[in-house]
Structure 1
Amino acid sequence: MTTLTAERPPLSAGAQMFANRLRKNLKELTRWAKREQIDCYRLYDADMPEYAVAIDLYHNEHRWVYVQEYEAPKTVAEARAQERLREVMSAIPQVLEVDGDHLFLKVRRRQKGSAQYEKQDAQAQFQIVPEGGSRFYVNFHDYLDTGLFLDHRITRSLAGQWARNQDFLNLFAYTGSATVYAARYGATSTTTVDMSNTYLNWAQRNMALNGFTGGNHRYVQADCVEWLEREARLRNAQQYGVIFLDPPTFSTSKRMESTFDVQRDHVTLIRHACQLLTDDGVLIFSNNFRKFRLDQEALAGLVMEDMTQATIPHDFARNPKIHHCWKMSLA
């Protein structure tokens, strides 16, 4: 984690060019966010390829700026990449009017296994931010991601709306934000499954923050692939009206007996999940693998609707491959 001081030296020509783009985005997206009552959104996402960063804004009583530098290709010299990053980080405080205590930098490299979710720091400092009428804990210090995937804002809302008066299952649940939406919209019960005890505790804290602490909200620490397979084999397994299935692209850990690859394993995963659906239930399947191809032939017999375009928020429109999403049900 990198926190910068609030020094405001004159901007270089490159930094000024970047600042101009940032101002343009800020003007347009601030109006949109105010109109849509959105407090956390992506301001910039490598709009200028030479400045390959993503910039997210989070607002509570303060503005928090979360910068992720994309790993430069091998064709770009390290010194040049560092110079461009310095230009980015010098422009941000001036344009966004934040000091170093509210500005954070992470480097997003190609992740292997569970590296995306591993701790990078141990400050355990959380902020509470609003989204969609609920509140969520985010952490700008300790992990590569903050605990709230902003590109799934619409997906979470749809999952919540469909979960009204239904039993809701959240798999690969991360910090349980979709579970919070389901509870807020009136799910009969929620089951939140994740292999990480850290994220399950985070999910429980998010639920408690919004007043959802009853016995109808269950948390299961388990390898989701193995848990689904076991549940699907049970004769009297619980059935769910809505299942939210958002697996990682690739995963491996000491707790797993084998690796998980979303392209290789998605058919089996979806088939097992559908065995837990009620007759009129809905499965929301999404992932962030840019080259993902759904094997529709192997999934014949399911009703499938591609919801990708409908679930890409306006602030991610410049990056339409940020995720894939389908709504599925039994034929």
Structure 2
Amino acid sequence: MSTADFESFANRLRKMDKHTGKWARRQGLSCFRVYDADLPGFPLAVDRYGPYLHVAEYKRNHTQEDEEGYRLWRANVRQTLSEALQLPNGHIYFKERKPQKGKSQYEKLSGQQEEVIVEENGLKFWANLADYLDTGLFLDHRPTRQKVREQSAGKRVLNLFAYTGSFTVYAAAGGARATTTVDLSNTYLEWGQRNLELNGLSGPQHEFVRADCKSWLAEPAEGLYDIIILDPPTFSNSKAMFDVLDTQRDHPALINACLRRLAPGGHLYFSTNFRKFRLELEKLQAGYIKDITAATIPKDFRNPKIHYCWLIRHSEG
């Protein structure tokens, strides 16, 4: 790869960091996407977390097949990022993204515990830049979180496959009467509770449940919810699960189980990051289904297929 290629990469980084940074400050965001695999030869997603960078490298799209060439490329990328965005090398965290092939979504990568507090729409969250593949805050779901916040006043909200509870924080900030946060990982449930505490939103009305969501939904419902967030991983076979989760296969059963817990007039938000996903409409027991994907992709994400999202209800009313 030529010097000119790295100069183009540096120019793109500077341009987007300046442009998107101004927009982010107006929006009250300290974390946003700077670069979104915009140039051939640089299959990276570069996210700013204040004075730090989180860099996800998409190995499946890589052109560097020779190991020595790859090491040189990566060293040059790191140097370019540091110089173009004026950040020390120690503030740049690299992750490699590749198909999971059966690995659990909860796998830990390191034990550095590099945590920082980031801000989003007036709320604060703990982000871990080193220890996991993801940081604890999915930036692409920012607009959907805001939708939930705007609709939560006086409502009961269910957050399934909740990860670190960012939707729960938004719902609580929006004045939710009660929330139930369900995830299989104690680590992520504790993280979600810490996020609530960070915003001064903790209370007995916010329940955290450690459970396999698929099994939990199969149990008899103990009350209905006005808003349900269903954002399952594409695939999971964690040892703590009773069964393998495959979102393409299982989504009709998951959605229908959520509809049984959804109050009349309630909203179910279903989303997935699986690029090849196909919604099986004929199997869903819903009266109203609307693809709202375009409205839920943030301005700083140039990939329109970063996720898919639907609003599902009992009826159109």
Is it true that 1:311 corresponds to 2:299 in the alignment?
Answer: no
Is it true that 1:330 corresponds to 2:303 in the alignment?
Answer: no
Q: How does 1:74-113 map to 2 (within 5 A)?
A: 76-79=64-67, 80-113=69-102
Deviation at 1:243, TM superposition (A): 0.5
Relative to structure 2, which stretch is displaced further, 45-54 or 193-202?
45-54
Cα distance in 1 for residues equivalent to 2:155 and 2:186: 26
Cα distance in 2 for residues equivalent to 1:113 and 1:281: 34
| Conserved? CA contact 2:269–2:310, under 8 Å | yes
- Helix, strand or coil at the partner of 1:165: coil
Equivalent position to 1:266, from 244, 251, 269: 251
| Conserved? CA contact 1:285–1:326, under 8 Å | yes
| Conserved? CA contact 1:160–1:182, under 8 Å | yes
Alignment deviations for residues 243-281 of structure 1 (CA, whole Å, 9 cap, x no partner): 011000001111112211111110000000010011111
Equivalent position to 1:42, from 33, 48, 69: 33
Deviation at 1:114, TM superposition (A): 4.6
> TM-score, with normalisation over the residues of structure 2?
0.94
Relative to structure 2, which stretch is displaced further, 33-42 or 255-264?
33-42
Cα distance in 1 for residues equivalent to 2:259 and 2:179: 17
Q: How does 1:1-331 map to 2 (within 5 A)?
A: 12-59=3-50, 63-73=51-61, 76-79=64-67, 80-230=69-219, 233-234=220-221, 237-316=222-301, 318-331=302-315
Deviation at 1:185, TM superposition (A): 0.4
Relative to structure 2, which stretch is displaced further, 110-119 or 148-157?
110-119
Cα distance in 2 for residues equivalent to 1:113 and 1:133: 37
Q: RMSD over aligned Cα, in angstroms?
A: 1.6
Number of residue pairs aligned between Structure 1 and Structure 2? 313
Cα distance in 1 for residues equivalent to 2:72 and 2:40: 14
The 1:270–1:128 alpha-carbon spacing in structure 2 relative to 1, beyond 3 Å, is same
| Conserved? CA contact 1:29–1:43, under 8 Å | yes
Alignment deviations for residues 43-80 of structure 1 (CA, whole Å, 9 cap, x no partner): 11111121111100012xxx111111111458641334
Cα distance in 2 for residues equivalent to 1:293 and 1:210: 37
Cα distance in 1 for residues equivalent to 2:132 and 2:286: 40
Report the residue type matching 2:30 in the other structure: D
> TM-score, with normalisation over the residues of structure 1?
0.90
Deviation at 1:290, TM superposition (A): 0.7
Aligned to 1:4: none
Deviation at 1:198, TM superposition (A): 0.5
Report the residue type matching 1:313 in the other structure: P
Report the residue type matching 2:76 in the other structure: E
